């Protein structure tokens, strides 16, 4: 049983192997949870999409799903919402995992559509992730991300104190995160930021400027702590 399940999982993650201490009862429970997830993934057929072995948790919702493109073996946790209300939609690569209670939302306004959200291959996003795509958001391949991560590629204009901030409009520059980054829990990335390949961002950091590849970043506001 263990070897069979391991070979199935390795189709998604070739480097995976079960811990020797894992018992068969836990494995059977895990197996049934995956089967139900794949069955729920089949509902994508009714949205005119190929499920591609997607596994969906309970209460997963899609808005404007015709502009959502995803690769093989996507795994989405419970109570996740994806909204592709935008100019260029949402693109999700192969072997992407999105944690429970996450929100992937390009924009919420019908009078000023956002750009896009692009998530590369082999990306893992922790629970309660919030990804906005108003000014465009790109996450490179092989990134791993902790819980409560948020990206905000948009900023409010506040120049005139005599006009309500909500009536002054916004600026949008976009956010780009390179490949093979490790982003800790509760990290916030703000508009206009580019993160180079191979960066590590410490938990709780607020990133309001760009950093070169292989930087280890932390703090509020974030700064380079050292280089890998």
Q: Are residues 170 and 104 in the same domain?
A: yes
Q: Are residues 22 and 69 in the same domain?
A: no
pLDDT in tens, 172-225: 999 999 999 999 999 999 999 999 999 999 999 999 999 999 999 999 999 999
Asked if residues 182 and 197 have their Cβ atoms less than 8 Å apart, the reply is no
Q: Are residues 126 and 144 in the same domain?
A: yes
pLDDT in tens, 138-175: 999 999 999 999 999 999 999 999 999 999 999 999 99
Residue 161 in tokens: 């104190």
Asked if residues 156 and 196 have their Cβ atoms less than 8 Å apart, the reply is no
Residue 169 in tokens: 């409009």
Burial 54-64, CB ≥16 within 10 A → b, else e: bbbbeebebee
pLDDT of residue 48: 66
The better pLDDT of the pair 112, 121 is held by: 121
Q: Give the residue among 128, 55, 123, 53 at the shortest CA–CA distance from 91.
A: 123
Question: Is residue 11 over pLDDT 90?
Answer: no
Q: Could you tell me the CATH number of the domain that includes residue 181?
A: 2.160.10.10
Query: Structurally, how many domains does the chain consist of?
Result: 2
Q: Are residues 102 and 206 in the same domain?
A: yes
Q: Are residues 81 and 165 in the same domain?
A: yes
Cis peptide before 210 (omega within 30 of 0): no
Q: Is 116 a catalytic residue?
A: no
Domain membership of residue 80 as a residue range: 57-227
Q: Give the residue among 175, 55, 53 at the shortest CA–CA distance from 115.
A: 175
Q: Are residues 120 and 210 in the same domain?
A: yes
pLDDT of residue 192: 97
Q: Indicate the Cα dihedral angle 123, 197, 117, 107, nearest 10°.
A: 120
Angle between the 24-41 and 2-9 helix axes, to the nearest 10 degrees? 40
Q: Are residues 171 and 123 in the same domain?
A: yes
* Predicted confidence band of residue 1 (pLDDT cuts 50, 70, 90): low
The span from the CA of 211 to the CA of 127, in Å, is 25
Q: Are residues 159 and 116 in the same domain?
A: yes
Q: Are residues 100 and 14 in the same domain?
A: no
Given the residues 81, 152, 156, 167, select the one marked as catalytic.
Answer: 156
Residue 62 in tokens: 């899609």
Least confident of 42-51, 105-114, 166-175: 42-51
Q: Are residues 89 and 43 in the same domain?
A: no
The structure's pTM equals 0.87
Q: Are residues 83 and 188 in the same domain?
A: yes
CB atoms inside a 10 Å sphere around CB 157: 12
HSE-CB of 166 using CA atoms within 13 angstroms:
1
């Amino acid at each position: 049983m263990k070897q069979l399940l391991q070979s199935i999982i390795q189709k998604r993650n070739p480097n995976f192997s079960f811990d020797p201490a894992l018992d068969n009862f836990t494995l059977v429970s895990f197996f049934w949870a995956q089967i139900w997830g794949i069955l729920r993934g089949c509902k994508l057929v009714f949205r005119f999409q190929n499920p591609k072995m997607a596994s969906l948790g309970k209460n997963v919702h899609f808005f404007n799903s015709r502009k959502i493109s995803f690769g093989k073996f996507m795994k989405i946790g419970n109570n996740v919402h994806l909204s592709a209300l935008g100019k260029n939609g949402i693109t999700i690569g192969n072997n992407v995992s999105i944690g429970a209670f996450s929100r992937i939302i390009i924009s919420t306004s019908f009078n000023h559509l956002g750009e896009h959200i692009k998530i590369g291959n082999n990306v893992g996003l922790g629970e309660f992730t919030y990804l906005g795509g108003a000014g465009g958001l790109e996450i490179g391949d092989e990134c791993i991300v902790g819980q409560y991560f948020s990206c905000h590629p948009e900023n409010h204009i506040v120049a005139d104190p005599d006009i309500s901030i909500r009536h002054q409009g916004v600026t949008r520059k976009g956010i780009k995160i390179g490949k093979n980054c490790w982003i800790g829990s509760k990290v916030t990335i703000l508009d206009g930021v580019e993160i180079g390949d191979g960066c590590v961002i410490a938990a709780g950091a607020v990133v309001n400027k760009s950093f070169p590849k292989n930087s280890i970043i932390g703090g509020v506001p974030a700064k380079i702590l050292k280089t890998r």
